[in-house]
């Protein structure tokens, strides 16, 4: 016969197993909801196996998309003040193929980026 202490422990273990199961079910449900919404918004999934950066993904919109999808990112170019959208695909290339850190995000439009690059190249040549 199991002692009452053993019984209590067994009961507690059973309870915590149940709680864990419920938590997992909730997580899967949340995951499915995120997946569904990501598909509806045609979000690009993060391929974490290609991420070389050890920095932490920026927290914008992370609770909903759990750091698993790239969200189109609206910003104002710091040089010409034009409104820009940095698309999920561009971000995927930047972080996965180019290997840039998560902190390094777009601040300039394409034109200003090109000007900035040639300005830097010029500066390197003359020094």
Interacting residue ranges for Zn ion, rule: CB under 5 A: 77, 79-80, 109, 112
Nearer to Zn ion, 5 or 81 (CB): 81
Nearer to Zn ion, 43 or 106 (CB): 106
Nearer to Zn ion, 62 or 107 (CB): 107
Please tell me whether residue 4 adopts helix, strand or coil conformation.
helix
Give the C-alpha separation, 80 to 92, whole Å: 25
CB of 76 to Zn ion, least distance (A): 9
Nearer to Zn ion, 41 or 104 (CB): 104
CB of 74 to Zn ion, least distance (A): 14
DSSP 22-91: HHHHHHHHHHHHHHHHHHHTTPEEP-GGG----SPPP-TTHHHHTT-EEPPEEEE-TTT--EEEE-HHHH
Give the C-alpha separation, 120 to 114, whole Å: 10
CB of 109 to Zn ion, least distance (A): 3
CB of 110 to Zn ion, least distance (A): 8
């Amino acid at each position: 016969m199991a002692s009452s202490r053993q019984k209590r422990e067994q009961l507690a273990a059973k309870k915590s197993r149940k709680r864990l199961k419920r938590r997992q079910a909730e997580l899967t449900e949340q995951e499915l909801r995120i997946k569904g919404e990501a598909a509806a918004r045609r979000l690009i999934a993060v391929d974490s196996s290609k991420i070389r950066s050890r920095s932490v993904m920026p927290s914008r919109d992370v609770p909903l998309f759990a750091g698993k999808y790239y969200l189109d990112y609206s910003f104002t170019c710091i040089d010409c003040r034009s409104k820009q959208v940095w698309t999920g695909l561009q971000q995927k290339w930047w972080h996965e193929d180019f290997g840039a850190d998560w902190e390094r995000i777009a601040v300039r439009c394409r034109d200003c980026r090109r000007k900035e690059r040639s300005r830097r190249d010029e500066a390197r040549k003359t020094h």
